[in-house]
Amino acid sequence: MSVDDRTTAAQGNSSEGAAAPAAAVTWWGRRRVLGVLAAGTAVLAAGSVMLTTRRSSARGSWPALDPGERIGAVTVIAVHPPQFGAVPIVLATAEGTRFQVDVLARDPDAPGGIADTAHYSLFLANHGDGSTSTDEAQGLGVMALAERLRALEQGPGPQLLTLRERGESHGGAALGVPLS
């Protein structure tokens, strides 16, 4: 029965005339609001599950790197979830200096990072523009990380941006992660 049918039925059965249609419309409005709220709650719950699944699958498809793992002369401190189109990885040198490596999608038409794999380019996140000298221990750590990723790489992992795409999308954003 449509709203118009209910309003007509309420008018025909009511002895009060004008009050009944308002009651019928209000009743329909409350019911509709409750339905919309229930549907909204279901959509939010489903969206939360999808977001969690998406994050998990992005992490799950990423080669296994564990905090505390030694790779060459560096130690993995943290592997952050993808953000701003990159996977930030925090490493520490043998001396304890922590630094961030951003793993981005490889762009075959652009200069690579400090090291590249079939699918990724690895960049040292030192706020430089490529003209600053890289600390040797950190550069060797990035190369060791790339070698480790090459050994684990089975195909494209999470959807990452290239350095160029990241600059276009997030040019002025603060892209650092906590180094602790």
Task: List pLDDT tens digits, range 12-61.
Answer: 444 444 555 555 555 556 556 555 555 555 444 444 333 332 333 334 44
65 part of a folded domain = no
Has this prediction a pTM greater than 0.85? no
Same domain, 14 and 50: yes
Same domain, 77 and 44: no
Angstrom distance (rounded) from CA 88 to CA 78: 8
Same domain, 55 and 117: no
Number of domains in the chain: 2
Same domain, 116 and 158: yes
Q: Which amino acid is at 7?
A: T
Q: List the domain range (segments joined by +) for residue 23.
A: 3-60
Same domain, 48 and 87: no
pLDDT digits (tens, 9 = 90+) for 62-113: 668 999 999 999 999 999 999 889 999 999 999 999 999 999 999 988 888 9
- Asked whether 140 and 46 are in contact (CB, 8 A), the reply is no
Same domain, 53 and 74: no
- Which sign does the torsion angle of CA 165, 74, 60, 154 carry? positive
Q: Which amino acid is at 72?
A: G
48 part of a folded domain = yes
